[in-house]
Copies of this chain bind each other. A is one copy, B any other.
Amino acid sequence: MSAGRKRAFDKEEALDKAMRVFWENGYSGTSVTDLTAALGINKPSMYAAFGNKEQLFATALEHYMVNYRAPILQQLTEPPEAPLRERMKAFLCSVIDLVSNPASPKGCLFVKSCCESGSVAIPDDITSSLGNMVLDHEEMLANLLEAERQRGQLPESAEVQIIAEYLVTVMAGLSVQARRGKSNEALKALVDMIVSSIPGAAKD
C-alpha cells in the first residue's frame, strides 16, 4: 500500500457526477466551479484526480459510452432466437429510455458533444476522438448486421453499411427530440415507423 493521505471522495462516483454536469450543460457551458460544486470537492482535488477540465471531459465521455451507451447494443443481439425486427424495436426502445430517462439529463451526451465538436472552444483532441467514436459505432453495427444477414435475418441484397448509418442517424435524431422535450411515449410511437425501413426485417 502506498503512503499518503487517503482521498476523501470516491473517484468513480465523482466521475459519474461530473459526467452528468457535462451531459446537462455541455463542455463550453460547464465551468470548473460547476464541476467542483457538483462533486463537493475543491479545485486542487479535482485537478489532482482528473488532470484538467479537458481530460475530465474525455474521461467522463468514455465513462458514458461504456456504462450508458454500450450496454444498449446487447438488445440488438439477444435473445438471438428472436426475430431481428423485434430486437431492433427493443434496441430503439432502450435508446429512447436512455435519452428520456427522468433521472438523467435529456438527450445523449455523445450526440450533444458531436454537435459541440468543431467549435473553437472544443479541444481538437476531443473533436477527433468523437469522430472516431461514430465511425467505430457504425462499423460495429454494420458487422453485427452482416452477421444477421448471413444468418438469414436480412435479405441477401441488404446493404448493411447503409442500414447501420441509418440507425445511427435515427438514434441521433431521437436524442435531439428528447432533449427539446419530447416524451418517452411520443418517441416510442415512432419506433414501428423507423423499423419499417429495414428491408426484410420489416415484414410481419
Contact = CB atoms under 8 A, between A and B. Distances in A.
Interface of A: 24-26, 28-29, 34, 105-107, 111-112, 114-122, 130-131, 134, 162-163, 165-166, 168-177, 179-182, 186, 189-190, 193-194, 196-197
B119 A26 contact: yes
Q: Is the interface of A mostly helix, strand, loop or mixed?
A: helix
A189 to B, nearest CB: 6
A115 B179 contact: yes
Nearest to A176: B172
A190 B174 contact: no
Number of chain copies forming the complex: 2
B131 A180 contact: yes
B173 A25 contact: no
A164 to B, nearest CB: 10
22 contacts: A24-B119, A26-B26, A26-B28, A28-B121, A29-B120, A106-B118, A111-B176, A112-B115, A114-B180, A118-B179, A134-B177, A163-B193, A165-B182, A165-B189, A166-B194, A169-B170, A169-B176, A169-B190, A172-B173, A173-B176, A194-B197, A197-B197
Contacts of A168: 173, 177
Contacts of A131: 180-181
A115 B115 contact: yes
A28 to B, nearest CB: 4
Given A24-B120, A28-B28, A112-B115, A162 B176 contact: no
A26 to B, nearest CB: 6
Contact of A180 (B28, B134, B181): B134
A71 B107 CA distance: 28
Contacts of A26: 26, 28, 115-116, 119, 121
Contacts of A182: 165
Cβ-closest 4 pairs across A and B = A173-B173, A169-B173, A172-B176, A28-B28
Given A29-B121, A121-B29, A197-B196, A177 B181 contact: no
